[in-house]
Amino acid sequence: MNSPNTTSLLNEDIKYVWHPYSSLHSDNPIFAVKSANGVYLTLEDGRQLIDGMSSWWCAIHGYNVPTLNDAIKRQLDNMAHVMFGGLTHSPAVKLCKKLVELTPEKLDTVFLSDSGSVAVEVAMKMAVQYWQARQLPGKQKFISLQNGYHGDTIGAMSVCDPITGMHSLFEDILAKNYFIPSPTCHFEELCHSEHLKPLKTILKQHHHSIAAMIIEPVVQGAGGMKFYSADYIKQAKVLCEQYDVLLIADEIATGFGRTGKMFACEYANISPDIMCVGKSLTGGYMSLAATLFSKEISNTISKHPPHIFMHGPTFMGNPLACSVALESIRLLEASAWKQNIKKIEQLLIDGLKDCQSLDAVKDVRVLGAIGVVELKQPVNMAHIQQAFVDAGVWIRPFGKLIYLMPPFIIKKDELNRLCEAIHHVLSNNMQQ
């Protein structure tokens, strides 16, 4: 039972607050969190839930991590924020240097921003300005994959899947871009020329108007939780080069170990021209993202009119966010993250295997610390969300997809409880 305080909190929430992708008039339950520690969320009513989401894939080290807390507290005593125009500071410089070292070669410079969507906007603007500087101002369109997700701002939306991204709703303000089917060659398979044909066709016909191709390498996240062959990326990179089209790797979901490599591009052994990171960059502590690009791009933009890159967020390079990002990366590198992800992968494979035989289930797939149960029908959110909480876990499905992306520090029995909860809820609650 909720205390009177919690009840009043929830009532005021309903009255005043929008939540992501929500209606103010839905009967979906909402839960008030009091605190979070390790892999546990503690609700206001005292219940503890094992977190299977890492708070939308960010909290890779779990919650209330002493060294991350300390990094912010230390920085707070120096300065919380200063503008980044004309000023710089050690946390931002150190972080940018670290990101250049950590990411694939050729990504030599960094533009910091506040969120993944903005990092994607920056990547798109950068690509367009690059071709302008190269005297090819006609190259202003993008190629992306169906089932892709790149963020919710207007530019980013224009390269999200047209259907799940609801392009029809915003028809007149979204730029028209080119979409190709998401790759059908599976992870660890090679791709044949058939698989690359849709890309080749568009490049051949429209390369004069295309600035860049944008992809989520290997794992398509919020647009469908699909995995595909790294070989596709390798071949796409070659084709893009052939047609003077830049390749933007959106590693906002896949970056920092989630797929088993530090960055998913490493599976394909390629260096994209531009790369976006975000989400787990700060270990889930603060909103921060970065766009990395090659010297060729930064030099070309800087040498030609207007000589400047046209973007500058107010909170660019926020010192608190940069400090905690540095500490999060240090913590990740100091951990046995590769072995941890391998262990999580095996536990997910074993733990979700039994779901495959359930009537409601279409497919079960696992890659790195990502486990997906795809259903035949969309879930009833109100019903399933309550059922998961009753089972003591925090799992937030969307559409036909129930998935786990736990913090990397999760223990075997905790991960097993997450997997068992999915099986239990799907076996007992299938009234849609």
Ligand X SMILES: *Cc1c(COP(=O)(O)O)cnc(C)c1O
Judge whether 267 counts as a catalytic residue: no
Q: Which of 55, 115, 146, 147 binds ligand X (CB under 6 A)?
A: 115
Nearer to ligand X, 151 or 165 (CB): 151
Rounded CA separation 186/125 (Å) = 32
Q: Are the CB atoms for 408 and 383 separated by under 8 Å?
A: no
Q: Which member of 114, 161, 231, 250 is catalytic?
A: 250
Q: Does 250 bind ligand X (CB under 6 A)?
A: yes
Radius of gyration of the CA atoms of the chain, in A: 22
Rounded CA separation 301/246 (Å) = 14
C-beta of 267: minimal distance to ligand X in Å? 16
Scanning 29-37, 148-156, 165-173, 205-213 for contacts with ligand X by CB under 6 A, the matching segment is 148-156
Q: What is the dihedral of CA 152, 323, 65, 397, to 10 degrees?
A: 10
193-197 long-range contacts, CB within 8 A, separation 24+: 195/229, 195/232, 196/232, 196/235, 196/236, 196/239
Nearest CA among 367, 350, 427, 358 for reference residue 391: 427
C-beta of 116: minimal distance to ligand X in Å? 2
Number of residues forming the site for ligand X (CB under 6 A): 15
User: Quick one: tokens of 323?
Assistant: 């400090």
Q: Give the chain's largest Cα–Cα span.
A: 66
Q: How many CB atoms lie within 10 A of CB 298?
A: 17
C-beta of 256: minimal distance to ligand X in Å? 12
Q: Does 116 bind ligand X (CB under 6 A)?
A: yes
Scanning 147-155, 314-322, 347-355, 383-391 for contacts with ligand X by CB under 6 A, the matching segment is 147-155
Judge whether 149 counts as a catalytic residue: yes
Q: Are the CB atoms for 239 and 206 separated by under 8 Å?
A: no
Nearer to ligand X, 253 or 274 (CB): 253
C-beta of 2: minimal distance to ligand X in Å? 30
Angle at 392 between CA 391 and CA 397, to 5 degrees: 75
Q: How many CB atoms lie within 10 A of CB 151?
A: 24
Nearer to ligand X, 218 or 395 (CB): 218
Scanning 113-121, 195-203, 313-321, 384-392 for contacts with ligand X by CB under 6 A, the matching segment is 113-121
Scanning 86-94, 192-200, 249-257, 422-430 for contacts with ligand X by CB under 6 A, the matching segment is 249-257
Interface mask toward ligand X for 214-233; x: CB under 6 A: --x----xx-----------
Residue nearest to ligand X (CB): 116
Q: Which of 68, 72, 120, 341 binds ligand X (CB under 6 A)?
A: 120
Name which of residues 277 to 296 contact ligand X (CB under 6 A): 278-279
Q: Which member of 149, 178, 228, 232 is catalytic?
A: 149
Name which of residues 285 to 344 contact ligand X (CB under 6 A): none
Judge whether 114 counts as a catalytic residue: no
User: Quick one: 212 exposed, middle or buried, by C-beta within 10 A (0-12, 13-18, 19+)?
Assistant: buried
Rounded CA separation 12/410 (Å) = 34
Residue at 310: amino acid letter: M
Judge whether 21 counts as a catalytic residue: yes
Q: Are the CB atoms for 249 and 275 separated by under 8 Å?
A: yes
Name which of residues 26 to 65 contact ligand X (CB under 6 A): none
What residues line the site for ligand X (CB under 6 A)?
A: 115-117, 120, 149-151, 216, 221-222, 250, 252-253, 278-279
Residues labelled as active-site residues: 21, 149, 250, 279
